Chain A
Amino acid sequence: MEDIKQKVKDFILSELRKRVGDIENINMEENFIESGVIDSFGFLELLMSIEQEFNIHINFAELDPSEFTTLEGLVFHCGKAIAL
């Protein structure tokens, strides 16, 4: 599981780097959108590329955005979907 999570995290960071440039100071618990790292449309695009890359469908229906708009939350929920 930790392997998968690391892979997802690396992928997200590389995608973020492509989209917003320098992300050295990104914090695991920081909300991407609130802190202005990415806007909501950008986040949606990021999500689509994650789903495509790992060939997964994440079920967000039961989640509040605060649970998946941090790096930690996103990695957790993607990891869970991959492990299924």
Chain B
Amino acid sequence: MTITKSTKSIVSGFLKAVGEFPDRPALEVDDQTYTYQQLGKRAQDIAASIKAYELTANSLAGVLGYRSFSAYAGVLGVLISGKGYVPLNPEFPTERTFRMISLSKVNVLIVGNECLKELKNLLPLIKQSLTIILPDTEAQEDLVKNYPVHRYIFSSDMPDHQDPVKEPEVDGEGTAYLLFTSGSTGIPKGVPVSHNNVISYVEYICDRYDVNEHDRFSQTFDMTFDLSVHDMFVCWQREACLCSIPQKSVMAPAKFINEKKLTMWFSVPSVAMFMSKFRMLNPGVYPTLRCSLFCGEPFSSVLAAQWQEAAPNSVVENLYGPTEATIAISYHTWDSNSTPEKCTNGIVPIGTIFDGQKCRLIDKQHNVAATGQPGELCLSGSQVTKGYLNNPEKTRSQYIKIPSVGENTWYRTGDLVKQDEDGCLYYLGRIDNQVQILGHRVELQEVDHALRKASGTEMALSVAWPIKDGMAAGVVGFIGGQNNAEEAQIFEYCRSELPEYMVPRKLYFIKDIPLNSNGKMDRLQLKEMLDKGMSA
């Protein structure tokens, strides 16, 4: 057997569509429709600018864009240039974005016009010289004057490329995108995901849902959330059309689904929860949907049943997967007859591992757990990434060998699950302090860290609260002891350090933080205090 090195990029499917079906719609955003030709052209011009001005060997480039033509063209342009993209989010605190730029060492930024303000916040922090490409912004003299260390390419400087787009040459194991997840030490963890990882996922999903050129995809996720990769690259792989939902409509997108005649839905379950409360899940209201996927947090069976009634022509599936295993790696298809009795605590099972990927449950000693016993879920296969960016220690602790099952490397998810005889997986909880807030992964230690820095006391702890339909709606903070820290200052510090969903919604100043039997501050007791009605 000869092993040929894969050189396929995740952008290959899109480029094929540009060549074969240039006039099909590829993207609807801001009330504009762009064909494959138009989106491809802009992406190619961005790629040409990167190639012309980026002379270093760095394999990554940043994209600071938000639900705009430039954001999508930016992602595609970076990939066409042969680099991987690092999505940056103007909704995140500037400090955090700056840290992502530093950690990923990018030398190139693609910036959408909607993020100009955030760029101006960032530039005073950035010392090294960058190439900043602003494809839809006219020349800005103040930028050039105030921050002359960088090279700017404004809309009028963009190359106008007429040649057919060439496939980039990439190493299949090279990074397609780099995402950052919440880290317990207060520094976000970088997860590089390779072209091979993503192609495995995209090909499996395209076949699984028989995606075709008539499909119209929702795009609900921010690009800093890896589920957005599904939206973009599953859609474009099969010449379908991506419909970007404006941020202000994401919470309750009933009108959007019907106006855009969406066929493929993908969101966090929280969106279904909001829609249910807004009475937007009445029977039969979404006849065009044929496939509804939910991922990112526990999916309540009540919501799944309501969604199924509202979208009677749609399959409804709960997907599960950590960023480290590329977007999603297991599924459970909702069946109104058989699923309800399979639900634990009213939560839909995370289901069956995708064909070709593997899972094992391990106990605390890293032995394979006995059949039927709860254990930590470990994953292996073509979708599983190789480790964290510049963090060998964390990589060693999460990417392990399980001696009794051969030489494979297994990613430890930190999720406690059990598995039945049919291989169906049931989510039981976390083995650590990670929680999901509106689908975002949050290490509570990272919030603790911010609270401690802000209050100047070590006696500070965060709790995921309140819990609604099995989902955490936010975080609250506890500050212990005699404390002079001002509430407003603590909030302000947290807002400057943490994305909005991680900022405590409320602070409680209490005399003593309860301790557990080991003398450690006890989150569980604080949660019980809240349960008993401590919240006003």
Which residues of chain A have a CB within 8 Å of any CB of chain B? Answer: 31, 33-34, 36, 39-41, 44, 47-48, 57, 59-66, 69
Contacts of B246 in A (CB 8 A): 66
Report how far A61 CA is from B286 CA in the complex, Å: 11
Within the complex, which residue of B248, B255, B279 is in contact with A69, where a contact is CB–CB below 8 Å?
B248
Contacts of A41 in B (CB 8 A): 468, 473-474
Question: In the complex, what residue of chain B is closest to A44 when comparing beta carbons?
Answer: B277
A-B contacts, 14 of them at CB < 8 A, read A33-B248, A34-B247, A41-B474, A44-B274, A47-B277, A47-B278, A60-B252, A61-B279, A61-B285, A62-B255, A64-B249, A64-B256, A65-B251, A65-B253
Which residues of chain B have a CB within 8 Å of any CB of chain A? Answer: 246-249, 251-256, 274, 277-280, 282, 285, 468, 473-474, 500, 505
Grouping DSSP codes into helix (H, G, I), strand (E, B) and loop, the B interface class, with mixed when no group exceeds half, is loop
Contacts of A61 in B (CB 8 A): 254, 278-280, 282, 285
Given known contacts A39-B474, A39-B505, A41-B473, A60 and B248 CB-to-CB distance under 8 angstroms? no
Report how far A63 CA is from B505 CA in the complex, Å: 28
Report how far A65 CA is from B473 CA in the complex, Å: 19
Given known contacts A39-B505, A40-B274, A60-B254, A65 and B249 CB-to-CB distance under 8 angstroms? yes
Report how far A34 CA is from B248 CA in the complex, Å: 7
Question: In the complex, what residue of chain A is closest to B536 when comparing beta carbons?
Answer: A18
* In the A-B complex, the 9 residue pairs with the closest CB atoms: A60-B278, A64-B255, A41-B473, A65-B252, A66-B248, A40-B251, A61-B280, A65-B251, A64-B249
Contacts of A59 in B (CB 8 A): 279
Closest Cβ of chain A to B494, distance in Å, is 14
Q: Does the CB pair B279–A65 fall under 8 Å?
A: no
Contacts of B247 in A (CB 8 A): 34
Report how far A31 CA is from B248 CA in the complex, Å: 8
Report how far A33 CA is from B249 CA in the complex, Å: 11
Report how far A48 CA is from B274 CA in the complex, Å: 12
Report how far A60 CA is from B280 CA in the complex, Å: 7
Contacts of A69 in B (CB 8 A): 248
Closest Cβ of chain A to B251, distance in Å, is 5
Contacts of A31 in B (CB 8 A): 248
Report how far A63 CA is from B257 CA in the complex, Å: 11
Report how far A50 CA is from B274 CA in the complex, Å: 16
Closest Cβ of chain B to A22, distance in Å, is 12
Question: In the complex, what residue of chain B is closest to A40 when comparing beta carbons?
Answer: B251
Contacts of B277 in A (CB 8 A): 44, 47-48
Q: Does the CB pair B278–A66 fall under 8 Å?
A: no
Report how far A6 CA is from B400 CA in the complex, Å: 63
Report how far A47 CA is from B280 CA in the complex, Å: 14
Besides A39-B474, A64-B253, 10 other A-B contacts (C-beta < 8 A): A33-B251, A41-B473, A41-B474, A44-B274, A61-B278, A61-B280, A61-B282, A63-B254, A64-B249, A65-B248
